[in-house]
Structure 1
């Protein structure tokens, strides 16, 4: 299978931002700000509902076909590590939002490793839009596929 080209769509995912899931992420990330768990506190802070924690979009991983995504990229999963993940928020995600994320390839290159051998570096961007089409979050992921062991 040929490597995907920059601009190619790898997958799409959609899900609802649920208050209960926001509460779970709040606990899991040791977030103590009550705006994430207490509706009156959220409203007092100017939100319509409780805002999601900053890494909430990782919930999309439970909705995606992970094997299909890896296969579409032509990666050997056993040799893949995550190089970095960056979130850019255009507005907070709020409980009640319905978001659609489209993940695209923005870069795919082979590099020589410092210890010899080559590695593949794939950069992906997922743009999440609200149900009305408004962009809300951009997520950039850099995946590194280490060369085969000899």
Structure 2
């Protein structure tokens, strides 16, 4: 039985990580963020944040805490044919240093499409819902994974 034969909303993995000041600073530098609220705790607190706020794409840190090989294998993907089709984020509140997050990643759609230039491709939509230590949903990340020639 392939994953395509299982119901939608199939859980792929669960990940836990803390929003750490060092990682927030690294992301701020890597994304050329100029707002000092992402690096100065005093300024962040005076701006009304509960800690130093993370930059907008911070949930990608979860990839460092996942078993990526197991993820690829669980989907039955041929890694050499895979490309990322896109990533979207929805934040329900700012992530701040000190947050402890748990993310549950699910398959929300898995389909075979005909390519515009012939052949098929497998398009998988994944969604990770991140909750804080109190169980409140704080962010969602949606990824589209494309496996070229994945229709066989």
Q: TM-score, normalised by structure 1?
A: 0.96
Aligned to 1:118: 120
* Secondary structure in 1 matching 2:66: coil
Aligned residues: 148
Counterpart CA distance in 1 for 2:146 and 2:133 is: 32
1:85-124 paired onto structure 2 within 5 Å: 85-124=87-126
Counterpart CA distance in 2 for 1:138 and 1:5 is: 21
Aligned to 1:54: 56
List alignment gaps of at least 5 residues for structure 2: none
CA RMSD of the aligned region, Å?
1.0
Counterpart CA distance in 2 for 1:133 and 1:38 is: 28
4+ runs of 1 displaced by more than 6 Å? none
1:1-150 paired onto structure 2 within 5 Å: 1-3=1-3, 4-147=6-149
Q: Give how far 1:5 is off.
A: 3.3
Counterpart CA distance in 1 for 2:51 and 2:9 is: 34
List alignment gaps of at least 5 residues for structure 1: none
Q: TM-score, normalised by structure 2?
A: 0.95
